[in-house]
């Protein structure tokens, strides 16, 4: 091995990459070096001095976390000197606060004294809530450290137990600074920092206030980063070690389309804590306030536990058999009387792919209608058609991680820090640490504008105009990527013609954004090497949403970024499985995988695969239409399926009201929501913690949802319900488990063909994944557009 | 002011200054350094002005207010040129007399002269005062010759000729070569070879580079950097200009403590003058060299003087040290190559250029060249700032310059290097003072603090004193420094209170080892010095405290008692009157007694006794 990029650790040669720290090389090779302050993803601070190692020729021991490996460097990680230093260091840390878990060697009297003193602190528990889950404790045991040589330190700062979600117990803080880095360098919330000096040192929030009175957004990143028991979830603060978790199950967050990977920590069939899964995309351990702390709805006593049937305006508990038979009978009758197209189904966008697939299959193959849609089409009915039309695939072009690599980021109609907090941290990091420029277009001064170089403030509903004005400037000043445009797109001449009227002057009069700002934004965007466009409901939900999205597509194609290694065009899906709802064919016009219902050969193929009678070619109704027809009575039966609510406090507005003229409304939900209370039959749904399946996040990655506790009461996953109903109606549908549903999905859906549970056990796979050996496609359109040349399509403002 | 565009312009300007000045014209120089300021030198100056006015000689006699002369304890200091008559402790009331007698009638005023405490001899000339006689005031001496607000004064003593030479005749690598060969080492504490630092900075990849002057000087008791900036800002600026040229930097910063308003003011004035003259800015002296200097005021924590903390603070962030895996010469201020030197280091640079390597290297010891300014304080007769060649022994500094220990007490130790320096015992009094010698004996050069201690100093107490300072000044970021220093302090505190126990010394040694070996920055790495050096040289004193519960120096209140020797006590009752707690009792004319329960160990009785009957045990 060449000594060029090799270091010698404990007598063995190891290669390293330039710039890599000694600690990284050691970890990569399974050599243990203790650390307390080192936080992955943040700049090493070298604060805790635990990771010191001996380096030949160095005057003192060196911090391996902050010392780059150098060619020929000779490192020893466990010499007498190193161990002595670690022990003395640990001794100092352990005696610096109420680390009473390990001071039993103090002799009986003083142990009691010490415990009494520890409990003196207001609201302090006798044992640390992090007992057994504490890096300091682990290291103290490993290095057999006692603290008897020092007198216990007085507690300088009282416990801060006034916040929602988080308790700060300064008596256990070892001032490693990981929380500060987590807050400032990972989440970029800049809520906490080091305060005071010397022995007065303390982690402070905004001039030393309580977290609740600071800029803290309670994402809990700091809690997860804290190696000891100094930052603990409120819930855990009152737990004793005997009430500790009994297991943790990895799953995917059900709140938004980012699809964060998290662990549900459980005990006694209850979720007691949530932590982020570190080191994996898309969230690398980060979570947001909701994902981390708001899981009480799972354990809520008010959950639906049995099916309910309304009798004379009052719900009565019923067995599944009774409820399902009733639904099947009524469905059959309506089919006979009014035809299958008078039945519709709307699925929420946070149930699993398996459930969504089963739903549309049930509607198409058993009921015989294409009246299937999802709630996601209510908030974004523009992206799929606009992007499919121009680029061939209607989804985010790039993986979330690419956002951090972009040099200019344009955010339109997305209150990112609020709606997609974890994704927003990618943007914030790009701006704060990687020199990216942020352009925010939003009528409001949203939080993200704090990071923005330019804030465009369009009058609401005028987005297409400013976007077109940017395009106008870029074309006018020839700032676009000619090579890219000529080789990969069509319709540029058309675009040039149509765009003429969108001068910045004109746009100024329409949008209220000054022309200078528009020029500035256009130039900055055009000069970027890897520009990224992010948009969300603020764009898609407005009246001309589809024109806006088309204009954004044009802007992206002009500057040559879709398909490039960073940047891209990125619609942010609101709910955890919006993407899945589209992918699974919960749309009136597509089967799963965007296979057109109108296409006869596709239908024939489906009939064969499903072994069903002939499938309907009638175009189905969209969600909005179904709801409208429910009012007029043209729709006779409606099935609302899924986990429509996220929790009792986060009610989505009811989609339907009392004045509907439906003969039958069936709602499956986890709570007796507003929708459910109007239903004739209510079915209890299993929450995301209680069922197996998959979600497809906004970046098209298919991720596992895992059952971590039993469903409440008789609650069931929706796919099970559809199977039974289907069989009752006369089209038998049977799957052994969710995995079997995924097998069928893969079988009938070309994009998903290579996906199965085994492959996504630990890592996501982004579709398209056409076969079992395909690694997936995190980045769409590399080299060429999936659907032929990209098409500029101008719609007027 | 007309712009100075070329070297010739500058020389012309200098000639004009010189020709307008008559070296024989009498001049009153009044020290206006911070020390003399405190003594009211401003009123003295006004007094002189009025007196000259009164005698109608304002035109024939000049007045110059200068920077610090170093002998601050004797201020306000006045030197009369051209004879260099040295008066100290001058009050406004003396000024009329000085003008009428000395200046107009050549009559020396005896009472204002300095008296050699050894010989009782009156000394007339500044250079004959023992305090100055032993010094070699290459850098600091000019303070007394110039008015810091007047660039003309600096030019008159040859100022800015070094930059002229550099810009007109030397390439940047030649300059670096000269500095390397001169052996100039950083005066800010570490003693790192300046030329080597410059060279690495020059060679670091990148376009923008910075030169920074460290004028944070947070050591309590040290004030040479501040006095230099106050008294002779131009020599520091000239040094920085030369450095910037050599390194290839166009932007310099002076990081100066906000608590030093006079330094901030004077350096600001000097920079303004340079800008106005075109000596800072674009194309300086028509050489193509562009350079400007900004003054940045530091927030005042001791640790802000540490290089990485200083740069963080300059960037507007919290002044905390950073892990320095990449040297600041490569990635310093705003991640650009940055060369940081101390005030005194910069001030040496013009001197080296002007006088040459050979001359410079003839001063000092093998590995420490030139002079060093020390702040001599403590139990020594003459305190103040002294500049001596490297290699002068402690004895020479303490006895020849410092005039020995007051009240005939015995020298015990000298503490050098600021709060985290070490104590050097009497047995090493003939140690030549230079960077390496000091480190060898467990102390350091640091910023040049020198505190003399006599036999009445308790070494445990001294160590505790410094550790107390350091524990508050640790930035608190790294474990060993934050908690280690605190623990050391607690142990020392315990020992001085009589709570010392078996094992304390060993624990102190362990802690010293880990704090110095594992801390992130030099504050922590050097913080145990006061402890380690006193444990090393005065271990018996520690043991006396711990085992015998006795403070041999009679300082630690908890461990001492005042007793009255009944053989000597005459029963005069003086002590009874001074005792604030009425702890002394006794019948008149009978031996008295001190009640140890009531006594608060203030020592008032001891000081009051005329019969030497009270002692400390
Ligand atoms: C705690 C601490 C305080 C320091 N304070 C100062 C200071 O006040 N002035 C100074 O010049 N150097 C100070 N230093 C040294 C600087 O870090 C740095 O080494 C020096 O400024 C470099 O200049 P030099 O090479 O010319 O000495 C300090 C170092 C430490 C660790
Ligand atoms: S909860 Fe989040 S925002 Fe609040 S301090 Fe912790 S990391 Fe910062
Ligand atoms: S609260 Fe936790 S993470 Fe933050 S500094 Fe203290 S010990 Fe470290
Ligand atoms: S050694 Fe002390 S001053 Fe230096 S970084 Fe550590 S805690 Fe801060
Ligand atoms: S892990 Fe390296 S110093 Fe803390």
What CATH number has the domain bearing residue A37?
A: 3.10.20.740
State the pLDDT at residue A99: 78
Specify whether A585 is located in the same domain as A554.
no
Q: How confident is the model at residue A192 (pLDDT cuts 50, 70, 90)?
A: very high
pLDDT tens digits along A33-49? 999 999 988 989 999 99
Cβ B470 under 6 angstroms from ligand 4 = no
In a domain, A697, yes or no: yes
State the pLDDT at residue B238: 97
- Is B476's CB within 8 Å of A194's CB? yes
pLDDT tens digits along B280-319? 999 999 999 999 999 999 877 888 999 999 999 999 888 8
Nearest-atom number in ligand 1 for the CA of B522 is 31
Residue A420 in tokens: 């997609």
How many C-beta atoms surround the C-beta of residue A788 within 10 A? 11
Q: From CA B13, how far away is CA A201, in angstroms rounded?
A: 55
Q: Which of B402, B427, B454 is the last residue of a domain?
A: B454
List CB contacts (< 8 A) between A44 and chain B: 323, 325
Specify whether B439 is located in the same domain as B491.
no
When pLDDT is averaged across residues B379-398 and rounded to a whole number, the result is 94
B420 pLDDT more than 80: yes
List CB contacts (< 8 A) between B466 and chain A: none
> Ligand 4: distance of its center to the CA of B191 in Å?
20
Specify whether B198 is located in the same domain as B337.
yes
In a domain, A181, yes or no: yes
Specify whether B68 is located in the same domain as B183.
no
Q: Which ligand is nearest to the CA of A39?
A: 5
In B229-244, which positions are buried (b, 16+ CB within 10 angstroms) versus exposed (e)? bbbbbbbbbbbbbbbb
Specify whether B197 is located in the same domain as B296.
yes
When pLDDT is averaged across residues A518-539 and rounded to a whole number, the result is 87
Instruction: Specify the CATH number for the domain of residue B510.
Output: 1.20.1440.230
Facing residues of B377 across strands?
Answer: B451
Instruction: Name which residue sits closest to atom 1 of ligand 4, judged by CA.
Output: B524
DSSP letters of B84-116? TEEE-S--HHHHHHIIIIIIHH----GGGSEE-
Specify whether A407 is located in the same domain as A485.
yes
Nearest-atom number in ligand 3 for the CA of A225 is 3
Entry pTM: 0.85
pLDDT: is A455 or A131 the higher one? A455
State the pLDDT at residue A65: 93
Q: How confident is the model at residue A242 (pLDDT cuts 50, 70, 90)?
A: low
Specify whether B255 is located in the same domain as B306.
yes
pLDDT: is A544 or A691 the higher one? A691
Specify whether A441 is located in the same domain as A371.
no
ipTM topping 0.90: no
Cβ A217 under 6 angstroms from ligand 2 = yes
- Shortest CA gap A585–chain B (Å): 52
State the pLDDT at residue A647: 36
Q: How confident is the model at residue B468 (pLDDT cuts 50, 70, 90)?
A: very high
When pLDDT is averaged across residues A670-685 and rounded to a whole number, the result is 88
Using CA coordinates, name the residue in chain A closest to B517. Answer: A60
Nearest-atom number in ligand 2 for the CA of A187 is 7
pLDDT tens digits along A535-552? 888 888 777 777 888 888
In a domain, B133, yes or no: no
CA-to-CA separations, B49 to B38, B99, B112, B147, B266, in angstroms, rounded: 20, 10, 19, 16, 22
CA atoms within 13 A on the CB side of A88: 29
Backbone angles phi, psi at B431, to 5 degrees: -70, 125
Q: How confident is the model at residue A114 (pLDDT cuts 50, 70, 90)?
A: low
Q: From CA A688, how far away is CA A717, in angstroms rounded?
A: 9
> Ligand 3: distance of its center to the CA of A219 in Å?
15
- Shortest CA gap B547–chain A (Å): 18
When pLDDT is averaged across residues A457-476 and rounded to a whole number, the result is 86
> Ligand 2: distance of its center to the CA of A191 in Å?
6
Backbone angles phi, psi at B453, to 5 degrees: -125, 145
List CB contacts (< 8 A) between A174 and chain B: 479
Chosen from A18, A23, A46, A157 to mutate, greatest number of chain B CBs within 10 A: A46
Specify whether A330 is located in the same domain as A224.
no
Cβ B476 under 6 angstroms from ligand 4 = yes
Helices (H), B39-182: 41-55, 92-97, 104-105, 130-133, 151-156, 161-169, 172-182
Instruction: Specify the CATH number for the domain of residue B437.
Output: 3.10.20.600
Query: Rounded to the nearest 5 degrees, what angle is found at the Cα of B106, between the Cα atoms of B102 and B111?
Result: 45
In a domain, A753, yes or no: no
Instruction: Name which residue sits closest to atom 8 of ligand 4, judged by CA.
Output: B475
CA-to-CA separations, B409 to A601, B73, B403, B406, B453, in angstroms, rounded: 111, 20, 12, 6, 10
In a domain, B220, yes or no: yes
A653 pLDDT more than 70: no
Using CA coordinates, name the residue in chain A closest to B477. Answer: A47
pLDDT tens digits along B187-214? 998 899 999 999 999 999 988 999 999 9
pLDDT tens digits along B252-267? 999 999 888 899 999 9
State the pLDDT at residue A307: 94
Q: What is the largest CA-CA distance in chain B?
A: 89
Specify whether A558 is located in the same domain as A477.
yes
- Shortest CA gap B301–chain A (Å): 9
In a domain, B555, yes or no: no
Instruction: Specify the CATH number for the domain of residue B73.
Output: 3.40.30.10
State the pLDDT at residue A198: 84
Q: From CA A273, how far away is CA A246, in angstroms rounded?
A: 11
Q: Which of A189-203, A542-556, B311-325 has the highest mean pLDDT?
A: A189-203
Chosen from A66, A83, A88, A184 to mutate, greatest number of chain B CBs within 10 A: A88
A648 pLDDT more than 50: no
Using CA coordinates, name the residue in chain B closest to A197. Answer: B475
Specify whether B407 is located in the same domain as B535.
no
When pLDDT is averaged across residues A138-150 and rounded to a whole number, the result is 82
A192-201, A315-324, A736-745, B229-238: the lowest-pLDDT one: A192-201
Please report, rounded to a whole number, the percentage of residues in chain A having pLDDT higher than 70. 91
Nearest to A194 among B318, B323, B525 (CB): B318
pLDDT: is A515 or A29 the higher one? A29
Residue A56 CB-density burial (10 A; 0-12 exposed, 13-18 middle, 19+ buried): exposed
Chosen from A198, A203, A227, A432 to mutate, greatest number of chain B CBs within 10 A: A198
Using CA coordinates, name the residue in chain A closest to B473. Answer: A198
Specify whether A496 is located in the same domain as A629.
no
Specify whether A267 is located in the same domain as A128.
yes
A188: left (phi over 0), alpha (psi -120 to 50) or beta: left
Provide the domain limits for residue A182.
95-299
B374 pLDDT more than 50: yes
Length reported for chain B: 617
Nearest to B476 among A61, A95, A198 (CB): A198
pLDDT: is A148 or A324 the higher one? A324
Nearest to A67 among B303, B325, B485 (CB): B325
Q: From CA B362, how far away is CA B358, in angstroms rounded?
A: 6
Facing residues of B342 across strands?
Answer: B214
> Domains in chain A: how many in total?
4
CA atoms within 13 A on the CB side of B380: 31
**Ligand 3 pocket test: which of A173, A204, A232 has the largest number of ligand atoms within 8 Å of its C-beta?**
A173
- Nearest alpha-carbon partner for A287 in A377, A222, A204: A222
> Domains in chain B: how many in total?
5
pLDDT tens digits along A302-340? 889 999 999 888 999 999 999 999 999 999 999 999 899
Q: How confident is the model at residue A106 (pLDDT cuts 50, 70, 90)?
A: very low
Specify whether B314 is located in the same domain as B430.
no
Cβ B520 under 6 angstroms from ligand 4 = yes
B356 pLDDT more than 90: yes
Q: Which of B301, B328, B360 is the last residue of a domain?
A: B360
When pLDDT is averaged across residues A342-363 and rounded to a whole number, the result is 92
Residue B367 CB-density burial (10 A; 0-12 exposed, 13-18 middle, 19+ buried): middle
- Shortest CA gap B192–chain A (Å): 15
* First vs last C-alpha separation in chain B: 70
Specify whether A654 is located in the same domain as A611.
yes
Please report, rounded to a whole number, the percentage of residues in chain A having pLDDT higher than 90. 38
Q: Which ligand is nearest to the CA of A65?
A: 5
Cβ B515 under 6 angstroms from ligand 4 = no
Using CA coordinates, name the residue in chain B closest to A92. Answer: B483
When pLDDT is averaged across residues A258-276 and rounded to a whole number, the result is 91
Give Rg (Cα) of chain B: 27
Please give the interface size between A and B, counted as residue pairs whose CB atoms are below 8 Å apart.
112
Specify whether B498 is located in the same domain as B539.
yes
State the pLDDT at residue B350: 97
List CB contacts (< 8 A) between B478 and chain A: 46-49
When pLDDT is averaged across residues A713-737 and rounded to a whole number, the result is 92
Specify whether A559 is located in the same domain as A652.
no
- Nearest alpha-carbon partner for A96 in A230, A240, A224, A234: A230
A233: left (phi over 0), alpha (psi -120 to 50) or beta: beta
Cβ A26 under 6 angstroms from ligand 5 = no
Q: Which of B454, B487, B515 is the last residue of a domain?
A: B454
A563 pLDDT more than 70: no
Q: From CA B495, how far away is CA B464, in angstroms rounded?
A: 10
Specify whether A475 is located in the same domain as A586.
no
Specify whether A560 is located in the same domain as A581.
no
Backbone angles phi, psi at A395, to 5 degrees: -160, 175
Q: From CA A307, how far away is CA A318, in angstroms rounded?
A: 5
- Nearest alpha-carbon partner for B508 in B495, B523, B526: B495
CA atoms within 13 A on the CB side of B570: 6
State the pLDDT at residue A768: 87
Nearest to A194 among B320, B322, B510 (CB): B320
State the pLDDT at residue B554: 87
List CB contacts (< 8 A) between B516 and chain A: 60
How many C-beta atoms surround the C-beta of residue B80 within 10 A? 20
In a domain, A37, yes or no: yes
> Ligand 2: distance of its center to the CA of A223 in Å?
8
State the pLDDT at residue A796: 62
- Is B472's CB within 8 Å of A201's CB? no
In a domain, A440, yes or no: yes
E strand or H helix that includes residue A6: strand A6-9
State the pLDDT at residue A651: 43
Specify whether B325 is located in the same domain as B398.
no
Instruction: Specify the CATH number for the domain of residue B571.
Output: 3.30.70.20
B52 pLDDT more than 50: yes
Beta carbons within 8 Å of B20's beta carbon, 6+ residues apart: none
Specify whether B338 is located in the same domain as B390.
no
State the pLDDT at residue A478: 82
Provide the domain limits for residue B567.
561-616
Mean pLDDT, chain A, integer: 86
Using CA coordinates, name the residue in chain A closest to B514. Answer: A85
- Nearest alpha-carbon partner for A362 in A666, A142, A568: A666
Q: According to the 3-state scheme, what is the secondary structure of B312-345?
A: HHHCCCCCCCCCCCCCCCCCCHHHCCEEEEEHHH
Q: From CA A78, how far away is CA A99, in angstroms rounded?
A: 25
Specify whether A105 is located in the same domain as A39.
no
Instruction: Specify the CATH number for the domain of residue A589.
Output: 3.40.50.740
Q: How confident is the model at residue B532 (pLDDT cuts 50, 70, 90)?
A: very high
State the pLDDT at residue B364: 94
Q: From CA B321, how far away is CA B306, in angstroms rounded?
A: 7
Instruction: Specify the CATH number for the domain of residue B347.
Output: 3.40.50.11540
Q: How confident is the model at residue A56 (pLDDT cuts 50, 70, 90)?
A: very high
Nearest to A66 among B320, B323, B487 (CB): B323
Specify whether B543 is located in the same domain as B573.
no
When pLDDT is averaged across residues B581-586 and rounded to a whole number, the result is 90
A112 pLDDT more than 80: no
Q: From CA A458, how far away is CA A466, in angstroms rounded?
A: 8
State the pLDDT at residue A41: 87
What is the rounded (10 degree) CA torsion for B238, B272, B3, B342?
10
What is the rounded (10 degree) CA torsion for A188, A192, A193, A195?
170
In a domain, A306, yes or no: no
Residue A677 in tokens: 């209370």
């Amino acid at each position: 091995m060449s000594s060029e990029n090799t270091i010698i650790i404990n007598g063995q040669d190891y290669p390293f990459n330039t710039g890599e720290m000694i600690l990284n090389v050691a970890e990569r090779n399974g050599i243990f070096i203790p650390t307390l302050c080192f936080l992955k993803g943040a700049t090493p601070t070298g604060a805790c001095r635990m990771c010191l190692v001996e380096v030949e020729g160095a005057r003192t021991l060196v911090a391996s976390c902050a010392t780059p490996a150098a060619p020929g460097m000779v490192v020893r990680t466990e010499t007498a000197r190193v161990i002595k230093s670690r022990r003395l260091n640990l001794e100092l840390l352990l005696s610096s606060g109420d680390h009473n878990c390990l001071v039993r060697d103090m002799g009986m009297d003083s142990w009691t004294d010490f415990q009494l003193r520890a409990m003196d602190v207001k609201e302090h528990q006798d044992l640390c809530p992090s007992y057994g889950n504490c890096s300091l404790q682990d290291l103290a045991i490993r290095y057999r450290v006692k603290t008897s040589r020092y007198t216990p330190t007085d507690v300088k700062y009282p416990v801060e137990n006034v916040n929602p979600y988080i308790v700060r117990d300064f008596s256990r803080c070892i001032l490693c600074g990981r929380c500060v880095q987590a807050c400032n360098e990972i989440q970029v919330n800049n809520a906490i920092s080091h305060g005071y000096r010397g022995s007065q040192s303390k982690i402070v929030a905004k001039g030393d206030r309580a977290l609740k009175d600071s800029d803290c957004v309670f994402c809990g990143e700091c809690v997860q980063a804290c190696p000891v028991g100094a930052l603990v979830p409120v819930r855990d603060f009152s737990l004793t070690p005997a009430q500790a978790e009994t297991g943790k199950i990895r799953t995917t967050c059900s709140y938004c389309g980012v699809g964060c990977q998290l662990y549900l920590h459980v005990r006694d069939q209850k979720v007691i804590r949530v932590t982020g899964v570190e080191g994996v995309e898309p969230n690398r351990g980060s979570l947001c306030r909701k994902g981390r702390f708001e899981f009480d709805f799972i354990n809520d006593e008010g959950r639906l536990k049995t099916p309910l049937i309304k009798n004379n305006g009052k719900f009565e508990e019923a067995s599944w058999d009774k409820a399902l038979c009733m639904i099947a009978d009524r469905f059959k009758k309506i089919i006979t009387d009014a035809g299958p197209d008078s039945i519709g189904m709307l699925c929420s966008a946070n149930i699993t792919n398996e459930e969504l697939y089963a739903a549309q299959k049930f509607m198409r193959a058993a009921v015989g209608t294409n009246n299937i849609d999802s709630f996601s089409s209510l908030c974004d009915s523009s992206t799929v058609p606009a992007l499919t039309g121009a680029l061939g695939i209607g989804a985010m072009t790039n993986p979330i991680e690419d956002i951090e690599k972009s040099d200019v980021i344009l955010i339109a109609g997305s209150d990112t820090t609020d709606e997609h907090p974890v994704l927003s941290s990618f943007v914030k990091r790009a701006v704060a640490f990687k020199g990216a420029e942020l352009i925010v277009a939003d009528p409001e001064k949203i939080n993200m504008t704090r990071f923005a170089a330019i804030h465009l403030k369009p009058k609401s509903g005028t987005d297409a105009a400013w976007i077109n004005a940017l395009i106008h400037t870029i074309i006018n000043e020839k700032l676009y990527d000619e090579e890219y445009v000529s080789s990969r797109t069509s319709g540029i001449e058309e675009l040039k013609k149509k765009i003429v009227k969108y001068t910045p002057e004109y746009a100024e009069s329409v949008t209220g954004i000054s022309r200078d700002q528009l020029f500035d934004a256009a130039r900055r965007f055009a000069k970027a090497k890897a520009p990224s466009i992010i948009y969300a409901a603020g764009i898609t939900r407005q009246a001309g949403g589809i024109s806006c999205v088309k204009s954004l597509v044009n802007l992206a194609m002009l500057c040559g970024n879709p398909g490039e290694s960073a940047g891209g065009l990125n619609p942010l899906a609101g709910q955890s499985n919006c993407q899945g709802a589209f992918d699974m064919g919960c749309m009136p016009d597509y089967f799963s995988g965007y296979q057109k219902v109108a296409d006869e050969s596709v239908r024939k193929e489906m009939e064969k695969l499903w072994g069903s009678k002939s499938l309907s070619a009638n175009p189905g109704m969209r969600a909005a239409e179904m709801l409208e027809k429910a009012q007029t009575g043209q729709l006779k039966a409606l099935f609302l399926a899924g986990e429509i609510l996220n929790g009792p406090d986060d009610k989505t507005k009811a989609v339907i009201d009392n004045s509907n003229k439906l003969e039958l409304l069936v709602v499956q939900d986890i709570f007796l929501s507003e929708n459910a209370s109007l239903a004739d039959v209510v079915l209890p749904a299993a929450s995301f913690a209680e069922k197996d399946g998959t979600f497809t996040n906004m970046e098209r990655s298919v991720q596992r949802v895992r059952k971590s506790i039993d469903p409440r009461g008789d609650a069931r996953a929706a796919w099970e319900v559809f199977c039974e109903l289907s069989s009752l109606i006369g089209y038998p549908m049977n799957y052994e488990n969710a995995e079997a549903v995924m097998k069928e999905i893969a079988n009938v859906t070309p994009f998903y063909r290579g996906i199965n549970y085994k492959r996504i056990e630990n890592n996501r796979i982004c579709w398209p994944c056409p076969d079992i050996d395909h690694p997936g496609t995190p980045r769409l359109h590399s080299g060429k557009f999936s659907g032929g040349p990209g098409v500029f399509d101008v719609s007027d403002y | 002011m007309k712009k100075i565009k070329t070297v010739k312009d500058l020389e012309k300007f200098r000639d004009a200054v010189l020709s307008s000045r008559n070296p024989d014209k009498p001049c009153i120089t009044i020290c206006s350094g911070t020390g003399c300021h405190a003594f009211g030198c401003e009123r003295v100056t006004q007094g002189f002005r009025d007196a000259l006015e009164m005698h109608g000689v304002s035109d024939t006699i000049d007045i110059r207010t200068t920077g610090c002369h170093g002998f601050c304890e004797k201020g306000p200091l006045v030197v009369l040129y051209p004879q260099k008559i040295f008066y100290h402790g001058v009050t406004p009331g003396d000024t009329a007399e000085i003008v009428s007698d000395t200046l107009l009638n050549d009559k020396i005023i005896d009472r204002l002269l300095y008296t050699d405490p050894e010989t009782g001899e009156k000394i007339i000339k500044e250079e004959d005062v023992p305090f100055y006689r032993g010094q070699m005031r290459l850098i600091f001496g000019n303070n007394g010759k110039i008015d810091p607000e007047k660039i003309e004064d600096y030019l008159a003593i040859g100022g800015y000729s070094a930059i002229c030479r550099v810009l007109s005749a030397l390439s940047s690598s030649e300059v670096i070569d000269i500095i390397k060969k001169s052996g100039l080492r950083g005066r800010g504490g570490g003693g790192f070879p300046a030329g080597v630092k410059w060279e690495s900075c020059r060679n670091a990849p990148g376009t923008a580079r910075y030169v920074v002057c460290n004028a944070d000087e947070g050591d309590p008791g040290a004030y040479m950097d501040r006095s230099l900036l106050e008294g002779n800002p131009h020599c520091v600026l000239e040094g920085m200009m030369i450095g910037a040229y050599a390194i290839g930097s166009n932007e310099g910063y002076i990081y100066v403590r906000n608590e030093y308003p006079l330094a901030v003011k004077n350096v600001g004035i000097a920079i303004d003058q340079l800008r106005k003259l075109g000596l800072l800015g674009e194309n300086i002296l028509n050489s193509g060299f562009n350079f400007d200097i900004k003054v940045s005021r530091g927030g005042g924590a001791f640790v802000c003087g540490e290089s990485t903390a200083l740069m963080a603070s300059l960037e507007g962030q919290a002044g905390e040290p950073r892990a320095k895996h990449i040297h600041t010469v490569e990635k310093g201020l705003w991640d650009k190559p940055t060369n940081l030197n101390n005030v005194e280091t910069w001030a040496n640079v013009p001197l080296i250029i002007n006088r040459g390597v050979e001359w410079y290297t003839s001063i000092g010891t093998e590995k420490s060249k030139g002079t060093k300014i020390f702040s001599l304080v403590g139990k020594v007769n003459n305190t103040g700032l002294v500049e001596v060649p490297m290699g002068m022994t402690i004895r020479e500094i303490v006895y020849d310059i410092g005039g020995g220990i007051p009240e005939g007490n015995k020298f015990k130790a000298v503490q050098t290097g600021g709060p985290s320096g070490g104590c050097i015992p009497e047995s090493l009094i003939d140690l030549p003072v230079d960077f390496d010698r000091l480190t060898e004996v467990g102390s350091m050069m640091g910023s040049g603090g020198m505190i003399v201690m006599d036999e009445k100093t308790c070494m445990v107490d001294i160590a505790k004193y410094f550790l107390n300072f350091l524990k508050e000044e640790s930035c608190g970021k790294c474990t060993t420094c934050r908690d280690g220093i605190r623990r050391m302090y607690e142990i020392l505190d315990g020992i001085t209170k009589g709570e010392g126990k078996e094992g304390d010394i060993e624990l102190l040694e362990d802690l010293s080892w880990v704090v110095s070996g594992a801390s992130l920055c030099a504050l922590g790495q050097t913080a145990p010095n006061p402890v380690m050096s006193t444990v090393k040289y005065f271990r018996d004193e520690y043991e006396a405290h711990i085992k015998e519960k006795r403070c041999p120096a009679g300082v630690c209140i908890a461990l001492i008692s005042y007793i009255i020797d009944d053989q000597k006590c005459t029963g005069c009752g003086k002590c009874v009157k001074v005792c604030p707690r009425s702890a002394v009792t006794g019948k008149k004319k009978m031996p008295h007694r001190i009640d140890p329960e009531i006594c608060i160990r203030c020592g008032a009785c001891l000081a009051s006794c005329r019969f030497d009957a009270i002692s400390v045990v």
